Chain A
Amino acid sequence: MSAPILEIDDLRIAFASPDGIVRAVDGVSWQLNAGEMLGIVGESGCGKSVTAMSILRLLPGPPAMFASGAIRFRGEDLLTASEARMRALRGNAISMIFQDPMTSLNPVLTIGEQIAEVLILHQKLSKRAAWTRAGEMLDLVGIPDPVRRLADYPHQFSGGMRQRAMIALALACNPAVLIADEPTTALDVTIQAQIMELLARLRREMGTAIVLITHDLGVVAECCDRVVVMYAGTKVEEARVDALFARPSHPYTRGLLAAMPELDTPGDARHRRLAEIPGMVPSLKQAAVGCRFAPRCALADERCRQTIPALAPTSGEHADHFAACFRAHEPLPGTAA
């Protein structure tokens, strides 16, 4: 296998807050291969968005933030790159789309101006050529009458159209990596499906590798090749999508999957209450002693509370399946595993 295009290596990010240091990301590693779609899942506050933002260094800088480890794009460490180098990469080699398309576009500039701007900046296109290309991008993301819509302002677009425009903007310079931070969370369900379809199609057509940050396992199951599950700033499980859904190993992942409603469950079972994971996400202000998930885990024993479990290959038939749990695969009490 060729070298990964993007590699996160033991990334640690901490923020200084009035009541102590918050370890938002605590030693996370993963790789993204060219053309691949990698899902990063976890609940709010697990550090997935902070990880995403740190790739383009969009987080507020020191002294409020400390980062260590490495983020390598084609072998080049982005954590130590100059600001000028980062500007050259942003929007060009690595792009990003955000959760809320209603607020992510500048209300006082036309859609055309906002897309043409990156093309003029990075591809050194003339104004006219950039405008033409911007029209092609709108066409590519499925906006009808694209050339005329270039002169529109964001408030003249619907939510779904704005996210399409954001995608057009992000992909205008044909980046190698697209980071999509919860791109469908703020949209209604039918539009969500359309946007995910669009991302999947553009990945096929343009060969862009995509990091999809989401808390929606359904979206992951449909679109991603591999999944990283994060909990409380750490990676608890990583696997190919089929392996993860077939044989979830970490009790947290199993809890997440159990919390998904199933439409194909027959009869009375459909009317049962959805399973939930008891307890709360732990505070990230103290350094972890044992497993971060132990207080909420039905399987946790003394060892779990004393020692942090390392990420290890699971005993499953899939080679690239890892989980950070001493008791992976053991049946959860009260369920027929």
Chain B
Amino acid sequence: MNYLLRRLLAVIPVLAVVAVIVFLLLRLAPGDPAVIIAGDTASAEDIEHIRQTLGLNRPVVEQFVGWIGQILRGDLGTSVFTGMPVAEMIRQRVEPTLWISALTMAFAVVFAVPMGIIAAWKAGTWVDRAVSGLAVAAFSLPVFVIGYGLVYGFSTQLDWFPVQGFKSLSDGFVPFIRHLALPVISGGLIYMALLARMTRSTMLEVLAQDYIRTARAKGLSSQRLLLRHALKNAAVPIVTTIGLGIAMLLSGVIVTESVFAIPGIGRLTVDSILRRDYPVIQGIVLVTATAYVLINLITDLLYGLFDPRIRY
């Protein structure tokens, strides 16, 4: 518990650094921030209005202190484009993104870990080669290629899945899953490939250990040997890869959401960048960075669960 507290406290300086960088994002851009935000066609009044609402006419230090104070109160500012609070905009868009991320990772883990285990168990056979081949293929294809390919095959030609869009779980489970299936598969294949290869190599290493020979000498079945004796030893690198995968997903989801026109955080990011809506961009970066740090913390805590030699 003491360790958990220390780790949670260590999150604070990391987020502080992120906050400074996010703050400087706008101020360090060359030229007048108000002009940048307003764009090419803006009138002088528009620019002055932006300058007033964002407080850009005040000294930088004062701006920073004010901004930090805002964040600490949970206020991420107001969108220049929509006039809505940024926190509210993120909240509205967070559901699809959370679902896509969770299901993408679940899809990758559910297929990749068994594939990796079997490939390691049958190392050198055609099963192993098939898994490796599949992994290389999934690795080499960009998400949008897989995405448009799947849409062409399963939506346009076969009409099994909708081409794009998102349905909330509250609209019913079947429409929800039908809308998410293709985004999850196209986004998840690359993580599946990564995780399958990682699982395979880690398991191969574990299976060569003396204690696996001991387990065989005890008369254990292959299944018990793999799942109880080997997998638990391979868990730490696998969990690390899953954690990194989730972190990577936070940016990977931008492409998936764009391909499938899903109104999530990824779309919001792209839209806000195109609109030069700095307060929203800053809010998203801040929220994403926090999620990143927390995922890393959870990954670290999980190590202790799998390996008794790691104690906090």
A residues with a Cβ closer than 8 A to B are 56, 58, 86-92, 95-96, 98, 100, 103-110, 117-118, 121-122, 153, 155, 166, 169-170
Which B140-154 residues sit within 8 Å CB-CB of chain A?
Answer: none
- B218-231 vs A, Cβ < 8 Å mask (1 yes, 0 no): 11110000001100
Q: Determine if A118 and B211 form an interchain contact, defined as CB atoms under 8 angstroms apart.
A: no
Q: Determine if A108 and B232 form an interchain contact, defined as CB atoms under 8 angstroms apart.
A: yes
In the bound complex, residues from chain B placing their C-beta under 8 Å from that of A89 are: 219
Judge if B299 is at the interface, Cβ distance under 8 Å.
Answer: no
Judge if B83 is at the interface, Cβ distance under 8 Å.
Answer: no
Q: Determine if A103 and B209 form an interchain contact, defined as CB atoms under 8 angstroms apart.
A: yes
Q: Determine if A108 and B219 form an interchain contact, defined as CB atoms under 8 angstroms apart.
A: no
| Bound-state Cα–Cα, A110 to B228, Å | 12
In the bound complex, residues from chain B placing their C-beta under 8 Å from that of A58 are: 213, 216-217
In the bound complex, residues from chain A placing their C-beta under 8 Å from that of B306 are: 108
Judge if B233 is at the interface, Cβ distance under 8 Å.
Answer: yes
Which B230-255 residues sit within 8 Å CB-CB of chain A?
Answer: 232-233
| Bound-state Cα–Cα, A92 to B220, Å | 11
| Cross-interface CB contact of B229 among A88, A91, A109, A166, cutoff 8 Å | A109
Specify the chain B residue showing the minimal Cβ separation from A118. Answer: B218
| Cross-interface CB contact of A96 among B217, B220, B221, B232, cutoff 8 Å | B217
| Cross-interface CB contact of B220 among A107, A117, A170, cutoff 8 Å | A117
Number of A-B contacts (CB under 8 A): 71
In the bound complex, residues from chain A placing their C-beta under 8 Å from that of B228 are: 109
| Bound-state Cα–Cα, A236 to B185, Å | 64
What distance in Å separates the Cβ of B237 from its nearest Cβ neighbour in chain A?
13
In the bound complex, residues from chain A placing their C-beta under 8 Å from that of B31 are: none
- Jot down 5 A-B pairs with beta carbons below 8 A, ordered by A: A90-B216, A98-B213, A103-B210, A106-B214, A121-B219
Specify the chain B residue showing the minimal Cβ separation from A113. Answer: B228
Q: Determine if A104 and B210 form an interchain contact, defined as CB atoms under 8 angstroms apart.
A: yes
Q: Determine if A153 and B308 form an interchain contact, defined as CB atoms under 8 angstroms apart.
A: yes
Contacts A108-B232, A118-B219 supplied; 16 other A-B pairs, CB < 8 Å: A87-B219, A89-B219, A98-B210, A105-B211, A107-B211, A108-B233, A108-B306, A109-B229, A117-B218, A117-B220, A121-B220, A153-B309, A155-B308, A166-B214, A169-B214, A170-B217
The 7 A-B residue pairs with the shortest CB-CB distance in the complex, in nearest-first order: A90-B219, A91-B218, A103-B210, A91-B219, A106-B211, A96-B217, A87-B219
Judge if B205 is at the interface, Cβ distance under 8 Å.
Answer: no
